[in-house]
Structure 1
């Protein structure tokens, strides 16, 4: 038999039936994850990964770009996320496995595309976890200052390039999340659900108080930099919708996944969008746009100014410290499951797909993720992290939307628990909106992303291509 061509190797696809079979087969050391998560916990995972990733601290970077029109930036990002959520819902109900858009790309577009998507997801989740950890340290400092009048020295609470030496609180948070994830997925999901309830209550508390000081004059000029500013801000804040992808990474640990996954994805998006818009409108109405730039723990500062007292700011800072914990927890969870799927396919070493006999979690992979995220959180400034997360998220979202179209054409008879309404218009619009937001990202983000893809190409050629589980006939 002649050797397969390079093209056939690059674009070999993994059958959906084989993916589903793998969720119920494996050795004692690894390969099987336990199905213990219900629709409520899964929806909470999506909300937990999303609310807090952006809204607690992204206003200080988005408002200077868009002005009060940042509200429109959130609308633009939400519309893009909505189109993509419908695409995710269809693929998640059709291919209910771990790996999210990596697995969907492997089934629809081929190995090399899936590999690139996998690397985008690794970047997306690692950088998002680090970005949120950096924001968490800002609110922790605010809380310590308000309660006991002590602040962690700048040298130990900021990364190099942001005025410090190492962001120690961010590293501590990553470590705590890793310890909880090692205990088990269902335990992590229950802890996250509690934190999500606290998070939503705290943000609604902010909305109520901030609206008492709403001043229409703060909304003028509404869009000082025009549509370009609105688009740039939307591109930057899009990373705050990463929770949609996080839901689908739990595909192998969900009960009745064909029904549960679509409900959780769409439900999480609705809750997140409503909360984001309320908070953004309340914030720009209560504080002049020029005051947002460089503002640490911005929502807490707004409450303190509005109430003329420190106790509302203390409540918000405490809520942020607790709730942002859940964002880091879920994004780290998502990354370990992406790496689990890639490892099982031979794309990366088997270390990441080995499951502990007792906890049924990928313990070694979780530790490796914690080390990588901890280094990013401790030594990289926040601005770079936010834009890199948006790039990885938008690329992954684009591939998912294309995957819906391809799978409808190549395997129309596959059982689907959910179908995208308005097909094929919705998937096409999803891709178009994602590409539009990618175009709005700064040049340095493109350069860093290109460097990341070069590393991916080297690893694929030297390792993944020859270790792929599909390298021999099935």
Structure 2
């Protein structure tokens, strides 16, 4: 007897899906790689540095290496999954095929928590960069949050092709800024600055690990900020020219670029300005330049302004990601179906507006980037456990599934990522047990909503459900 909940086909006719279509062929692999970098590049400008206060430079370095391994291994698995199952549901679609409807919904909701909260965290850093420039005489950043959400949600409502190209252009500016930071700080690097955090006296503390081994675990959350959301590239599958080829190229190139830039920022920024000072900064890159040069410079101002481009690039692109994840879950009936309606420009307008409003409220009421990072990372790490498990299960259950790309090392590679992701879930409770617990309760409430309500309203004609139904039919024929 199967323990999986029954699926009830709902509203299979073509008119339902006609009002829930995206624009196809809008992106090739170069735009996808740019999208992957854009998702994450704000993490190089702010957020990661808070890990210096949690674990010192040595603790954050170890955390960065571990999370770099986790993301690289996971991305190889996602490259395979996205070439085999190219749908907008991405993570939800992969887990739906491997783990059934409950596993698919759980993965989709974890991703949605990540993507809905991450823009709120980025908005607080945008406010910090603007305040550092002294623009508009602001002493409270909530107007910045409001304008940021309103403008960039509005641009997405115009259409996906326009949005992806603008994201790519903004990301290019941010990459130039990071290159300028490298050139400007390299001459001022002093290894002693990396270790200026005073050890806390715990049994395993030292100059290298001032908060001991526990600091490494706490720093994992902020090391993830160097990479968080790159897994969102497959969400563009239905809007890609050739997903079987373009998806693997785009996401792998993106993660390699992010590893390089993350390593450079981790070494040069505290190496020039000191780990202690950077561990408390809301705008670490321009502040590091000002500290290194003994005052304000044109380079610091340029990086400050261009840093806004980096923050905006991630903010802008993650709006794209949350809208597509919400669109896919709604289109399939897991969440209210009105959230997946699309307009004349084939953009899911309610899926853009509703999480945007929620993100603004979170940013305006908390103003706490570190808290919001921890909430976003909780959702992310739970989804990573399920995504890597999905790759492993599909390798065992469907070895003959057509794959445009195959993960080097196969299931061993994603098993490494799964174990590291599980450790990262625990780390969110170490950093802020209350925030992680509240987020876990929201996640559990979503699962109850599925179990008692939406599982009876699944739309079997949705692409992710169609994939699963065809797989079930093929399995029956083979038996």
Output the TM-score relative to the length of structure 1: 0.89
Contact 1:59 1:292 in 2 (8 A): no
Q: Secondary structure at the match of 1:416?
A: coil
Shift of residue 35, structure 1, vs aligned partner: 2.4
Partner Cα distance (1:60, 1:9) in 2? 44
Q: Secondary structure at the match of 1:263?
A: helix
Shift of residue 13, structure 1, vs aligned partner: 12
Contact 2:122 2:315 in 1 (8 A): yes
1:192 to 159, 167, 186: 167
Partner Cα distance (1:366, 1:355) in 2? 10
Bigger mean CA offset, 62-71 vs 237-246: 237-246
| Structure 1 equivalent of residue 475 of structure 2 | none
- Structure 2: gaps (5+ residues): 196-206, 470-479
| Structure 1 equivalent of residue 477 of structure 2 | none
Deviation sequence 1:301-321 (CA, Å, 0-9, x none): 111122233322211110111
1:100 to 68, 71, 90: 90
Q: Secondary structure at the match of 1:107?
A: helix
1:289 to 275, 299, 303: 275
Shift of residue 26, structure 1, vs aligned partner: 6.4
Partner Cα distance (1:134, 1:352) in 2? 27
Partner Cα distance (2:124, 2:313) in 1? 14
Contact 1:30 1:353 in 2 (8 A): yes
Distance change (3 Å), C-alpha of 1:87 and 1:445:
farther
* Equivalent pairs, count: 445
2:231 to 245, 250, 254: 245
Indicate yes or no: 2:152 matched with 1:177. yes
| Structure 1 equivalent of residue 52 of structure 2 | 63
| Structure 2 equivalent of residue 208 of structure 1 | 183
Indicate yes or no: 2:349 matched with 1:353. no
| Structure 1 equivalent of residue 412 of structure 2 | 425
Distance change (3 Å), C-alpha of 1:367 and 1:348:
same
2:442 to 438, 448, 452: 452
Shift of residue 405, structure 1, vs aligned partner: 1.5
Shift of residue 458, structure 1, vs aligned partner: 3.4
Indicate yes or no: 2:396 matched with 1:409. yes
Contact 2:47 2:370 in 1 (8 A): no
Indicate yes or no: 2:109 matched with 1:134. no
Indicate yes or no: 2:323 matched with 1:336. yes
Distance change (3 Å), C-alpha of 1:59 and 1:50:
closer
Distance change (3 Å), C-alpha of 1:254 and 1:119:
same
Partner Cα distance (1:356, 1:374) in 2? 23
Output the TM-score relative to the length of structure 2: 0.88
2:76 to 86, 109, 114: 86
Indicate yes or no: 2:391 matched with 1:391. no
Distance change (3 Å), C-alpha of 1:277 and 1:38:
same
Bigger mean CA offset, 433-442 vs 188-197: 433-442
| Structure 2 equivalent of residue 375 of structure 1 | 361
Contact 1:44 1:193 in 2 (8 A): yes
Distance change (3 Å), C-alpha of 1:110 and 1:213:
same
Shift of residue 6, structure 1, vs aligned partner: 8.2
Deviation sequence 1:214-256 (CA, Å, 0-9, x none): 1121133222123321232122331442232220111111111
| Structure 1 equivalent of residue 24 of structure 2 | 34
2:5 to 3, 9, 29: 9
- Structure 1: gaps (5+ residues): 15-20, 158-166
Q: Which segments of structure 1 move beyond 6 Å, counting only runs of 4 or more?
A: 471-474
